[in-house]
């Protein structure tokens, strides 16, 4: 039972995958695209990963504002969610992603990753945080 975690952005999608027991998340890759609305290759790559890792569900980071409201980015994420459901036939759960990119940036900085190399790892690491937060909430309810 592997779960795919996605951090959906305007030009990238960070990708993480759980272990088979659904306990830990590992970063896989960052999918890049030229234009925000050109999603055909992005979806094709996600479908490929779903087959390769025998994914049973997808967790998609949901960009909420700090005051718990949603905006344009959240609407685009909901559209992407619907597209993923259609294309993969899998359940796609939205998961609050507040502060995951900030946390990922901090980890990269503290790890000594140079500024010019952070972007290539930032979205993948944010996907790890999204998926790990989801897994922890499911495996250890009431903790935190």
In a domain, 110, yes or no: yes
Q: How many residues does the chain have?
A: 144
Tell me the chain's radius of gyration from C-alpha atoms: 14
> Per-residue pLDDT tens for 50-76?
999 999 999 999 988 677 777 788 899
pTM of the model: 0.88
CATH number at residue 135: 3.30.420.140
Confidence of residue 143 (pLDDT cuts 50, 70, 90): low
Residue 36, in any domain of the structure: yes
- Looking at the 3D structure of the chain, how many domains does it have? 1
Is 144 inside a domain boundary? no
Q: Which domain holds residue 60?
A: 2-139
- The predicted model gives 10-27 an average pLDDT of 95
Decide if 102 is inside a domain.
yes
Contact 57, 91 (CB under 8 A): yes
- Nearest partner of 58 among 137, 143, 127, judged by Cα: 127
Residue 52 within any structural domain of the chain? yes
Per the domain annotation, does 46 fall within a domain? yes
Model confidence pLDDT, tens digit, residues 70-105? 778 889 999 999 999 999 999 999 998 876 666 767
In a domain, 9, yes or no: yes
Instruction: Name the range with the highest mean pLDDT among 12-16, 34-38, 103-107, 122-126.
Output: 12-16
pLDDT confidence tier of residue 115, bands split at 50, 70 and 90: confident
Closest to 127 measured CA to CA, from 107, 144, 109: 107
Give the largest CA-CA distance in the chain: 41
């Amino acid at each position: 039972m592997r779960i795919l975690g996605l951090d959906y952005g305007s030009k990238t999608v960070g990708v993480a995958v759980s272990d088979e027991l659904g306990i830990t998340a590992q970063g896989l890759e960052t999918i890049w695209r030229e234009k925000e609305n050109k999603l055909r290759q992005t979806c094709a790559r996600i479908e490929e990963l779903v087959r390769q890792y025998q994914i049973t569900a997808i967790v998609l980071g949901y960009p909420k504002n700090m005051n718990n409201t949603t905006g344009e980015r959240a609407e685009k994420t909901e559209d992407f969610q619907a597209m993923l459901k259609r294309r993969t036939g899998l359940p796609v759960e939205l998961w609050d992603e507040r502060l995951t990119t900030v946390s990922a940036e901090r980890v990269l900085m503290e790890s000594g990753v140079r500024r010019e190399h952070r972007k290539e790892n930032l979205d993948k690491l944010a996907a790890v945080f999204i998926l790990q937060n989801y897994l922890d909430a499911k495996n250890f309810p009431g903790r935190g």
